[in-house]
Amino acid sequence: MKLELIFLGPPACGKGTQTNMLAEYLDFPHIDTGSLLRTEIAKQSKDGIIAKSFIDKGQLVPPELVGNIIKNRLTKEDCAKGYILDGYPRSLAQAELLEKINSEIDKEKAVFKAIYFDIDTQILIDRIVNRQSCPKCGEIYNKKFKPSKVENICDHCNVELKTRADDNEEIAKARFETYYRETAPLIEFYQNKNLLYKIDANGSINEVWERLIKVINE
Ligand code: AMP
């Protein structure tokens, strides 16, 4: 049966690392709205220029912009047996739009899971300001907690690691405010529908992975 997975949790809770691993494990597309928007910014497309002005303030980009991106992406053939959505939905309106999109594209009944990464938020700003990623394979590193073998170089691709423009303390604080105001209400939204799967996201990458796999196979 088709498996639709969405992920909730505050910025830098480890969703990106785990969903990258999960996409490979399940052979599902990993659809990460933040990365899709950063690609638009790099191309300096019309959407990218609009998105940048919101991302630079730690705010959500307008719902129509990201809604169109998601709708186009979820109708692609590679989503037929399932998908991993990382960073969408991020508000109640987006969650309702996703339900509508799914009801339009699903040919048969699908299993939907909203996986919530429950984490101690005190460590997260420190994670954000030290975060780096590989522009080629998407692997996420951290100068303090998960450094690359050679400073600033990806272990797999041998290319220079990048730091996201919005990974600084000031924008990170605004992103947390946005998360608590707009996205955190989704925890209750999905709980009320019996679709919420909460995992403890504190601990090592392997510990969180074990907990995640358990929930996926439930
Ligand atoms: P992320 O890479 O998930 O941390 O997202 C980076 C930024 O992209 C966020 O702070 C938002 O400005 C924007 N963004 C990502 N996903 C969404 C979404 N579903 N709705 C609106 N804005 C988003």
Say what percent of the chain tops pLDDT 70: 100
Q: What is the pLDDT of residue 158?
A: 95
Lowest-confidence range among 121-130, 144-153, 207-216?
121-130
Judged by average pLDDT, the poorest of 124-128, 149-153, 194-198 is: 124-128
Question: In this predicted model, what pLDDT tens digit does every residue of 2-40 receive, in sequence order?
Answer: 999 999 999 999 999 999 999 999 999 999 999 999 999
The burial class, CB within 10 Å (0-12 / 13-18 / 19+), for 8 is buried
Give the mean pLDDT of 137-143: 92
Whether residue 135 has a cis bond before it, omega within 30° of 0: no
Averaged pLDDT, 122-146: 92
Residue 186 near ligand 1, beta carbon < 6 Å: no
pLDDT score of 91: 97
pLDDT of 181 above 90: yes
Instruction: Over range 49-57, report the average pLDDT.
Output: 96
Q: Top-level CATH class of 2-29+76-120+183-216? A: alpha beta
Question: What amino acid positions are annotated as catalytic residues?
Answer: 15, 90, 131, 164, 175
> Which atom of ligand 1 is nearest to 94's Cα?
19
Give the start-to-end residue ranges of the domains of the chain. 2-29+76-120+183-216
Distance, in Å, from the CA atom of 64 to the CA atom of 75, rounded to the nearest integer, reads 17
SS3 193: coil
In this prediction the pTM is 0.92
Average pLDDT of the chain, as a whole number? 95
Q: What is the dihedral of CA 4, 55, 122, 16, to 10 degrees?
A: 30
Distance 89 CA to ligand 1 centre (A): 10
Distance (angstroms) between ligand 1 centre and the Cα of 38 equals 9
Ligand 1 atom showing the smallest separation from residue 171 Cα: 10
- Express each pLDDT in 56-99 by its tens digit: 999 999 999 999 999 999 999 999 999 999 999 999 999 999 99
- pLDDT at residue number 180: 96
- Alpha carbon distances (Å) from 146 to 14, 15, 98, 192: 12, 15, 34, 36
Ligand 1 contact, 133 CB (< 6 A):
no
Structure confidence at residue 200 as a pLDDT band (50, 70, 90): very high
